[in-house]
Structure 1
Amino acid sequence: MAIGPVQLIVLGFQHPDFHGEIITELERLRASDTIRVIDSLAIYKSADGDLEAEHLSNLSEQEAIELGSKIGALIGLGFEGEEGMVAGAEAGAEAVAEQGGVGVFTADEAWDVLEDIPNDSAAALILLEHHWAVPLRDAIARAGGFRISDGFISPLDLIEIGLVSAEEAKELHEMETAGAAR
């Protein structure tokens, strides 16, 4: 199966109040063939640090069978502390060996995102395939190009180059980081 550029996004939610709006937007993006959600998890962490997880995806049943659960294997995500993280990393290594691929994270580079989730909050881990970028990626490769780095740019950094006003950047920044300040 050919696959487009893949990105893992980890989003935090203080006292989440979900109404299906995020799933609806992901479905819209899938319908337009902009993205595909390869895997996603919603993680709830109680005030005491207890965890609950719900697997979410907009994959078809056949795609889900083909791809399986990838986030845990990709980053060594475990619900059982160090043992769970090792099990997740081992599952990822097995998947890589079976598919003849290259591991994304070594044991030293793996990170336990569960530790980064504050108590009494939630996180969404979304593994996205960017369908829109496939033709661009392929054109870059044909021209001998390659990815050196990538990342999201803060709205505050866009003021200097004139893409947004200071007021717009402040509003966007506050919207994007409001939950972290609570």
Structure 2
Amino acid sequence: MIGAVQILAIGYRQDDLPQEIGQQINLLRSSDAVRLLDVYAISRARDRTITEHAIDGVSDWDGELIRRMLRTAGASRVLNSYTADSSGFLVQGTPIPDPKVSLPPGSNLVLLLIEHLWALPLEDAMRHGSAYPLAGGWAGREVLEDAGLTMKDTAR
């Protein structure tokens, strides 16, 4: 069974992916909580041409799974494929704009396809309990800090 899968889009303007981000992508390979399924990178030149490219320092990923998903299902379905009743999702996130349309000229984008292994038992329990997600999102650091949560509170 496959767990909840997230598509994370990270944009950047410099020519190369920032080294720290590449290192973090590589660290995902050793995680027990998530599994990196694929990495796909594109660039949009100032003349608006789009090219696919490898990422220095992030090896063994060719973007084939993401490309196949985009090719067979279309970007709008892959990046916005939510159902009215949220069935089939652990967390119903926000739609991602088609990167080949929305990526500004002179920018780069890396798409990460991440399976959340930690979520398998919760997703299974929700499915058997006829439960479904209503919404999902990310809480910003400032909001958490304003509420009194600090990074030292999360270290265990």
Find the counterpart in structure 1 of residue 81 from structure 2: 104
Unpaired runs of at least 5, structure 2: 84-94, 152-156
The answer to whether the aligner puts 1:46 opposite 2:45 as a matched pair is: yes
- Secondary structure (helix, strand or coil) at the match of 2:53 reads strand
- The TM-score, its normalising length taken from structure 1, stands at 0.57
Q: Work out the CA distance in 2 between the residues paired with 1:25 and 1:147.
A: 28
Deviations 1:87-142 (A, max 9, x none): xx6xx7xxxxxxxxxx9269xx8942222211111111112111122123334444
Q: Is the 8 A contact 1:76 1:110 kept in 2?
A: no
Any residues of structure 2 matched to 1:71-110 within 5 Å, and which? 71-73=69-71, 76-77=74-75, 104=81
Q: Work out the CA distance in 1 between the residues paired with 2:121 and 2:131.
A: 13
Q: Is the 8 A contact 2:12 2:107 kept in 1?
A: yes
Find the counterpart in structure 2 of residue 115 from structure 1: 101
Q: Work out the CA distance in 1 between the residues paired with 2:52 and 2:43.
A: 6
Q: Is the 8 A contact 2:39 2:112 kept in 1?
A: yes
- The TM-score, its normalising length taken from structure 2, stands at 0.64
Q: Percent identity?
A: 27
Find the counterpart in structure 2 of residue 13 from structure 1: 12
Find the counterpart in structure 2 of residue 177 from structure 1: none
Alignment RMSD (CA, Å) = 3.8
> Which structure's CA Rg is the greater one?
1
Q: Work out the CA distance in 1 between the residues paired with 2:137 and 2:32.
A: 22
Query: Offset at 1:146?
Result: 2.3
Deviates more, 1:47-56 or 1:145-154: 47-56
Distance 1:162 1:131, change over 3 A: same
Q: Work out the CA distance in 1 between the residues paired with 2:126 and 2:54.
A: 34
Q: Is the 8 A contact 1:4 1:133 kept in 2?
A: yes
How many residue pairs are counted as aligned between the two chains?
A: 137
- Secondary structure (helix, strand or coil) at the match of 1:159 reads helix
Distance 1:70 1:22, change over 3 A: farther
Distance 1:36 1:55, change over 3 A: farther
Distance 1:130 1:36, change over 3 A: same
Q: Is the 8 A contact 2:39 2:66 kept in 1?
A: no
Higher relative contact order (CA 8 A, sep 6+): 2
Unpaired runs of at least 5, structure 1: 78-84, 93-102, 166-182
Find the counterpart in structure 2 of residue 153 from structure 1: 139
Q: Is the 8 A contact 1:5 1:134 kept in 2?
A: yes
